[in-house]
């Protein structure tokens, strides 16, 4: 069939999680458990807040969507003015001045990436992205005909951007620099000096900040030398992405946003271009836009629970690791994930397969996030606490036997 090469896995150059050896092993263990032939799998990769046993203010959410406003449709390319104002007000609470005119409502962060790639890139143009990072970016870029080039995050007791490598990666077709802050899975925020160095390069910056409200430091704040949002920049051209999926634990509501900042003189044409692209789709439902203030308010029940759980779970991970000489926990500043360094006696994929097949524990191997040096396993701090503790104990026992 004459399908587009953009949907051909072998041409995309990215891993197809649905067909790799680890996924096949997970499927087999789950199938055997469902038929009573084996123990259930402890899933330490949980990333869906609605499936993680978290509390929700269901009545408030239902009321927000059940008002007569939900029946009113007033198409606006950048989103309803009322919804854009709500987003601007959220940033104001954090001390970031943002006019609602600089906000565009999207159906998700994924759509926000696609919109920005369309705006800035012709087919074959380049976007710089960090590694390690979440593999979804490779798919989104391929679907837009965009070429990804990478710049490394290096670890030396703490994660940092290799600014020299970033500068060397820039070429004549570089159109955007993507930042994920805090990063998934490293949990590292972008440094203030790193942001300034990026701005000096003169390339627009797209910052995925969906986990920014979940710092994990001892002070429960973003570290002093890190930035909570690129919108604090007053030069260059910067875009901050976020939405209900992580901020309120409501991925099913399908509402995110792009907030534009930096040099005010550069934003006018940018917003016009944003409007042109989004007007062709009008993908965000009117009911969720009308309900946005109530959904954000109701979402505090869930976001507070996420903060409490991720902090408690990080303490569990560190406690178990302290008792397991073969395992260490890399520094993490925010987000929902923790990275374990394990012995290189076998690859991280082999460790992950052994854990699934022999110990009934499912974790992500580091290669899934393009971690190429050393052996690493990634666990989700969103996992229910008893399940995470049991899984970590099994990991520690496996390392003691095999390391």
Q: What is the pLDDT of residue 218?
A: 76
The total number of residues shown for the chain amounts to 403
d(CA 150, CA 141): 13
The closest alpha carbon to 340, from 187, 131, 213, belongs to 187
Is the CB of residue 181 less than 8 Å from the CB of residue 214? no
Q: What is the pLDDT of residue 1?
A: 61
The closest alpha carbon to 229, from 252, 260, 203, belongs to 260
CATH of 67-298, one of 3.40.1160.10, 1.10.20.60, 3.40.190.10, 3.40.640.10: 3.40.640.10
The closest alpha carbon to 129, from 83, 92, 184, belongs to 184
CA triple 145-184-403, angle to 5 deg = 120
Which residues of the chain have a pLDDT value below 70? 1, 9-19
Q: What is the pLDDT of residue 68?
A: 86
Q: What is the pLDDT of residue 265?
A: 85
Q: What is the pLDDT of residue 241?
A: 98
The closest alpha carbon to 189, from 335, 379, 338, 47, belongs to 335
Q: What CATH code is assigned to 5-55+300-402?
A: 3.90.1150.10
Return the sign of the alpha-carbon dihedral for residues 294, 76, 279, 3: positive
Query: How would DSSP label each residue in 320-347?
Result: HHHT-TT-EE----BSSEEEEEE-TTS-
Q: What is the pLDDT of residue 18?
A: 44
> In 222-347, which ranges are continuous DSSP H helix?
244-247, 267-279, 286-290, 292-298, 300-322
Residue with tokens 């209900």: 244
- Domains in the chain: boundaries: 5-55+300-402, 67-298
d(CA 299, CA 244): 8
d(CA 248, CA 306): 9
Mapping DSSP to helix (H, G, I), strand (E, B) and coil, where does residue 106 land?
strand
d(CA 163, CA 336): 26
Q: What is the pLDDT of residue 261?
A: 95
Q: What is the pLDDT of residue 4?
A: 80
Q: What is the pLDDT of residue 9?
A: 60
CA distances 199 to 56, 150, 163, 174, 286, Å, are 40, 17, 12, 14, 36
């Amino acid at each position: 069939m004459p399908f587009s090469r953009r949907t051909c896995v072998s041409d995309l150059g990215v891993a197809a999680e649905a067909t790799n050896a680890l996924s096949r092993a997970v499927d087999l263990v789950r199938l055997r458990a469902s038929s009573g032939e084996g123990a259930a799998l402890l899933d330490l990769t949980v990333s869906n807040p609605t499936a993680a046993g978290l509390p929700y203010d269901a009545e408030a959410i239902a009321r927000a969507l059940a008002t007569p406003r939900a029946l009113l449709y007033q198409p606006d390319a950048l989103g309803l003015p009322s919804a854009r104002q709500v987003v601007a007000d959220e940033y104001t609470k954090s001390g970031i001045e943002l006019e609602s005119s600089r906000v565009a409502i999207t159906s998700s962060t994924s759509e926000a990436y696609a919109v920005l790639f369309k705006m800035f890139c012709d087919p074959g143009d380049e976007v710089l992205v960090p590694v390690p990072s979440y593999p979804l970016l490779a798919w989104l870029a391929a679907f837009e005909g965009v070429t990804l080039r990478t710049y490394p995050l290096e670890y030396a007791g703490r994660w940092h951007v290799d600014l020299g490598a970033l500068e060397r990666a820039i070429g004549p077709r570089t159109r955007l620099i993507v930042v994920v802050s805090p990063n998934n899975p490293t949990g590292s925020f972008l440094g203030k000096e790193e942001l300034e160095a990026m701005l000096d390069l003169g390339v627009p910056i797209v910052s995925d900040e969906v986990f920014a409200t979940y710092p994990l430091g001892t002070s429960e704040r973003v570290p002093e030398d890190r930035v909570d949002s690129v919108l604090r920049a007053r030069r260059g051209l910067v875009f901050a992405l976020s939405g209900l999926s992580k901020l309120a634990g409501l991925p099913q509501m399908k509402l995110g946003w792009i907030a534009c900042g930096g040099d005010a003189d550069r934003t006018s044409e940018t917003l016009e271009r944003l409007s042109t692209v989004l007007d062709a789709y009008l993908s965000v439902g009117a009911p969720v836009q009308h309900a946005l203030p109530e959904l954000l308010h109701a979402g505090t029940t869930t976001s507070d629970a996420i903060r409490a759980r991720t902090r408690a779970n990080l303490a569990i991970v560190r406690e178990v690791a302290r008792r397991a000489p073969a395992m260490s926990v890399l520094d993490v500043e925010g987000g929902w994930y923790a990275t374990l360094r394990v012995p290189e006696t076998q690859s991280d994929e082999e460790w992950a397969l052994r854990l699934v097949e022999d110990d009934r524990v499912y974790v992500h191997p580091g290669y899934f996030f393009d971690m190429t040096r050393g052996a690493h396993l990634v666990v989700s701090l969103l996992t229910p606490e008893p399940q995470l503790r049991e899984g970590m104990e099994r990991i520690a026992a496996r390392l003691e036997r095999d390391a």
